């Protein structure tokens, strides 16, 4: 960490970062998935270190819309 811009380090997973969830910190990931309701297949996904799902909906909706080729959902 001394020679890099990193502020955190996980000894078990170098890509994991601390996320604030319900007032507590947890080291991990937040996975989002958009699923085709007819075929039950994942059509888009994203892995973030953002502990809140609220800011993820728009980007996932855009990814899902682009993946299925529709202009409107």
Asked, for residue 14, whether it belongs to a domain, the answer is no
Residue-range definition of the domain harbouring residue 62: 29-68
Asked, for residue 33, whether it belongs to a domain, the answer is yes
Reported pTM: 0.66
Asked, for residue 43, whether it belongs to a domain, the answer is yes
| Total domain count, the chain | 1
Strand 41-48 versus strand 17-21 pairing type: unpaired
Asked, for residue 40, whether it belongs to a domain, the answer is yes
Helix (H) or strand (E) holding 49: none
Lowest mean pLDDT among 15-19, 44-48, 57-61: 15-19
For residue range 13-23, what is the model confidence (pLDDT) as tens digits? 777 777 777 77
47 beta partners? 31
């Amino acid at each position: 960490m001394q020679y890099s811009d990193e502020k955190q380090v996980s000894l078990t997973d170098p890509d994991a970062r601390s996320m604030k969830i319900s007032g507590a910190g947890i080291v991990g990931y937040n996975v989002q998935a958009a699923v085709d309701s007819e075929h039950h297949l994942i059509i888009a996904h994203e892995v973030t270190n953002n502990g809140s799902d609220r800011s993820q909906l728009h980007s996932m909706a855009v990814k899902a819309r682009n993946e299925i080729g529709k202009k409107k959902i």
